[in-house]
A and B are shown apart, each in its own frame.
Chain A
Amino acid sequence: EAGVAQSPRYKIIEKRQSVAFWCNPISGHATLYWYQQILGQGPKLLIQFQNNGVVDDSQLPKDRFSAERLKGVDSTLKIQPAKLEDSAVYLCASSLVPGDYEQYFGPGTRLTVT
């Protein structure tokens, strides 16, 4: 079984530029999560999708971050414009159903904003 795929693995941009991350969850997994992991901290949930609908985006900075999951499969997270404090690892995870208490994580995208 293929795991959660993310691309790119690394990205360096200047502040005020835009960036997008892509995630392809495990086949058949209905629930998809995006987390932000700042160095020295635990992952923080940004947004949770159930199929192609948003379940929770309470911690997503909506003035600059956006995410979509068209057709309920893969997902894109965008930052526009980026700030220095957005430097972090962005993790995507998926689970089979909402009540499945095991989330499967991708390798993450390390973003550096200079």
Chain B
Amino acid sequence: AQSVTQLDSQVPVFEEAPVELRCNYSSSVSVYLFWYVQYPNQGLQLLLKYLSGSTLVKGINGFEAEFNKSQTSFHLRKPSVHISDTAEYFCAVSKNTGFQKLVFGTGTRLLVSP
């Protein structure tokens, strides 16, 4: 079975500062990795995904993530955040065969202040 750990429940940051949201996963088989964002009172939206190929993945809204197999990590980064990036961010994993079954972490709340 797969599992995801998001170590930080909340990350406060000032506008225009860089940010990194951490995600570690556990799996006995090869996986696909995802970051989703959830704005207040809305559903989840896919930010980016790693399926194969380059370990540096670029997503929407200026976010990027790096897959590190040896560290079993998939940390999310943005060089300069905006107030509008304030939201809940979820890391998710699925095995790379068969029907997709996403296993989510507990989420990290990013709080951007002016």
Query: Residues of A with Cβ closer than 8 Å to B?
Result: 3-4, 31, 40-45, 48, 50, 55-56, 91, 93, 95, 98-103, 105-108
Contacts and interface: CB of A to CB of B under 8 A. Distances in A.
A98 B90 contact: no
B67 to A, nearest CB: 14
Nearest to A33: B102
Contact of A55 (B49, B94, B99): B99
Interface of B is mostly: strand
A102 B99 contact: no
Contact of A103 (B42, B102, B106): B102
Interface residues of B, number: 24
B43 interface: yes
B107 A42 contact: yes
Interface of A is mostly: loop
B100 interface: yes
A48 B98 CA distance: 13
A41 B102 contact: no
B90 A42 contact: yes
Nearest to B45: A105
A42 B105 contact: yes
B99 A98 contact: yes
